[in-house]
Chains A and B, each alone.
Chain A
Amino acid sequence: MTDKGTVVLGVDPLVIRDHYEIDYHHSYAQDSPFFVGLTKGQLLGSRCTACGYTYATPRAHCMGCGAATSWFALPLTGRVHTFTTCHYGGESFLKETPFTLILVEFDGADTLFLSRLKGLQPDAVRIGLPVVARFAKTPSFKVTDVWFEPAAQG
């Protein structure tokens, strides 16, 4: 942890604590407009300029035909395609458990979008539930700047 000394965790065999940490200069590169869009309350998908296939995620080139895509605004409402509530998680997410993950389906998009569902008891989530996108007031420039909540019914 510090350079003051080595923590010995066991002696036979000899086990020591070994710390490792690093900062990256992480570029979102061609996907950058998506993350900027989140700061403006926009959810940007990709539409193939050749075959018209629509992705609910950023993808600068079409997986099907290879042509360039153009950005389009996804609707801010969709439906739960599938879901789970995580009671455990990777170490950095443990403090957030339980949290609910959903794949969102949108009218007018051929693929889905992974996000968190907030504002609903886990046992009330179901496939087909209408959901609406919410955006962070203070952006962190991560995909978690958007999440979903149940849409008002009717």
Chain B
Amino acid sequence: MTPVYMIGGGITKFAKAHPEKDFRLMVKEAYDYTLHDVPRLSKDMIDGAVGSYFSDHFTRQLKAASMVQDYLGLCPKPSKRVEGGGATGGLCFQSAWEAIASGRMNCCLAFGFETMSRVNTWKGNEFIALASDTNFDFPVGGFYSGYYAMMVQRHMYEFGTTVEQMAMVSIKNHANALYNPYAQKAKRLTIKQVRESPMVATPLTMEDICTMSDGAAVCVLASEELAGKVCDRPVTITGVGSGSDAMRMADRPHGKVILLPHERESDYQHLKYPGVHSFRGGRMAAKLAYEMAGIRNPIEELSFVELHDAYTSSEIQTYEDLGLCRYGEGGRFVESGMPFLPGIDYGLELPKQGRLPVNPSGGLLACGHPVGATGLMQAVFAFWQLQGTIGKHLNNERLQVRNAKRGLIHSHAGTGTYITVSILEAV
């Protein structure tokens, strides 16, 4: 495999609606930002593109990625669309990685977008729920927040996770976003405010759940030779992994935990896994990515994580899948303060604040979740962190993780049906 580098990225401001721009123009904005940021990179060096958007229902336009390809002036170069629910962006990123790693391309553009504002929020929820089994799950109450609520009820039952611990995730991510001008929904919150916001699906309130967005993001990946030629501070992608699980949550088995290098079978003697409380596909993705990147103990070897926090509960579940703590300890992990950023006052007592920042950008909860763009947005924030250029791109340094060496990005679909984990490292 050829080493793969990320050499540029751009994001549009995520917003509830961008009626003045269609998906082509949104991608164009993020693309132009990228080219401007990497002045020695020109269009003729780009060998091809991978486009991602989740829902043909939202877009009301099949093959919309072809329209982006021509709008950017990239025809007749290779192009394709990648779709995988909420993990669409992460899968797109890895597809571009594959194009470089295989030697097929020297430079590949990954672009993603979603225009969710074209229908009302509840119709949008229906569209998203069509990504659950339409014979057995959708007709019963087709609502992803309901599915995640059932998962966390079981997590609470198995492990004693609390709604206050979940609220702390919401406080963290919304407060981080105060310093991220790309974010859609930045604010200061208290545990009381999170719990008193309207109940959506017990125990998840409005402030436990991400919002729908319009937005686009692009990444440019390149071979070592091209990266060295055009980019002053490229970032290398040292590990990729992905995993999957049964579409219907009801069909998940109750078996043995997939172990990471720093875990032992005796850690989980009585845990039936994954059940509906854990994401087996996320654990598989992490295991594969860690193996490729040579990571033995993620909590010691990562500088930050950008993970798919569509729900506060799924951030807690994902700490465990990624091995940042043991299964069952996700609630206590957030309580410890470890996933918070240092130097920001969250109004909480956090004994180990800032040991491993998770979602310094504000994550999906605060940035928004324009599905096809989301996984690429995470890559762009991780790229800027590892370059040390957060200050330049966000116009302030508050979210810059000091001495960031190695970051993890995690993209997640359905109730855990497709999940990607990618590891990026400063050069």
**A88 and B249 form a contact (CB under 8 A):** no
Decide if B40 is an interface residue (CB 8 Å cutoff). no
Decide if A91 is an interface residue (CB 8 Å cutoff). yes
Q: Mark A113-134, 1 if CB is under 8 A from B, else 0.
A: 1111000001000010000000
Chain A residues whose C-beta falls within 8 Å of the C-beta of B198 in the assembled complex = 87-88
**Chain B count of residues within 8 A CB distance of the other chain:** 43
Q: Given that A82-B151, A83-B150, A83-B153 are contacting pairs, would A90 and B250 also be in contact in the complex, using a CB cutoff of 8 Å? A: no
Which residues 216-268 of B sit at the A interface, judged by CB distance below 8 A?
246, 248-254
Q: CA separation between A101 and B153, bound complex, in Å? A: 12
Q: Of A20, A103, A127, which one neighbours B250 at CB under 8 angstroms?
A: A103
**B250 and A113 form a contact (CB under 8 A):** yes
**A93 and B250 form a contact (CB under 8 A):** no
Decide if A99 is an interface residue (CB 8 Å cutoff). yes
Decide if B78 is an interface residue (CB 8 Å cutoff). no
Interface SS of chain A: mixed
**A57 and B136 form a contact (CB under 8 A):** yes
**A110 and B250 form a contact (CB under 8 A):** no
Q: Which of B2-10, B67-75, B91-99, B123-131 contacts A (4 or more CB under 8 A)?
A: B123-131
Range class of the A interface residue count? 35 or more
Q: Given that A84-B146, A90-B129 are contacting pairs, would A110 and B249 also be in contact in the complex, using a CB cutoff of 8 Å? A: no
Decide if A5 is an interface residue (CB 8 Å cutoff). no
**B201 and A87 form a contact (CB under 8 A):** yes
Q: Of B150, B157, B203, which one neighbours A101 at CB under 8 angstroms?
A: B150
Q: Of A55, A58, A86, A111, which one neighbours B143 at CB under 8 angstroms?
A: A86
**A86 and B145 form a contact (CB under 8 A):** yes
Q: Of B120, B150, B151, B254, which one neighbours A91 at CB under 8 angstroms?
A: B120
**B19 and A89 form a contact (CB under 8 A):** no
Chain B residues whose C-beta falls within 8 Å of the C-beta of A127 in the assembled complex = 153-154, 157
Q: Of A82, A90, A112, which one neighbours B142 at CB under 8 angstroms?
A: A90
Q: CA separation between A28 and B136, bound complex, in Å? A: 11
Interface centre among A10, A18, A90, A111 (most CB of B within 10 A): A90
Q: Could you tell me the distance in whole angstroms from the C-beta of A42 to the nearest C-beta in chain B? A: 16
**B141 and A116 form a contact (CB under 8 A):** yes
**B137 and A88 form a contact (CB under 8 A):** no
Q: CA separation between A120 and B333, bound complex, in Å? A: 35
**A88 and B122 form a contact (CB under 8 A):** yes
Q: Of B123, B136, B202, B276, which one neighbours A85 at CB under 8 angstroms?
A: B202
Chain B residues whose C-beta falls within 8 Å of the C-beta of A112 in the assembled complex = 249-252, 276
Chain B residues whose C-beta falls within 8 Å of the C-beta of A79 in the assembled complex = none
Chain B residues whose C-beta falls within 8 Å of the C-beta of A28 in the assembled complex = 135
Q: Could you tell me the distance in whole angstroms from the C-beta of B301 to the nearest C-beta in chain A? A: 34
Q: Of A18, A56, A86, A110, which one neighbours B141 at CB under 8 angstroms?
A: A86
Which residues 179-204 of B sit at the A interface, judged by CB distance below 8 A?
198-204
Which residues 110-169 of B sit at the A interface, judged by CB distance below 8 A?
120, 122-123, 125-126, 128-129, 135-143, 145-146, 149-151, 153-154, 157
Q: Please, could you name 5 A-B residue pairs with CB atoms under 8 Å apart, sorted by A?
A: A84-B202, A86-B149, A89-B142, A101-B150, A103-B276
Q: Which residues of A contact B (CB under 8 A)?
A: 10, 13, 15, 18, 20, 28, 31, 55-59, 63-64, 81-94, 96, 99, 101-103, 110-116, 122, 127, 142-144
Please list the 8 inter-chain residue pairs (A to B) with the smallest Cβ-Cβ separation, ordered nearest first. Answer: A90-B126, A84-B149, A82-B154, A112-B250, A91-B122, A89-B143, A91-B123, A82-B150
Given contacts A84-B150, A86-B201, A101-B150, 19 further A-B contacts (CB under 8 A): A13-B20, A18-B60, A63-B251, A82-B276, A84-B203, A84-B204, A86-B200, A87-B199, A87-B201, A88-B122, A90-B143, A91-B122, A93-B142, A101-B140, A111-B250, A113-B250, A114-B137, A114-B249, A143-B136
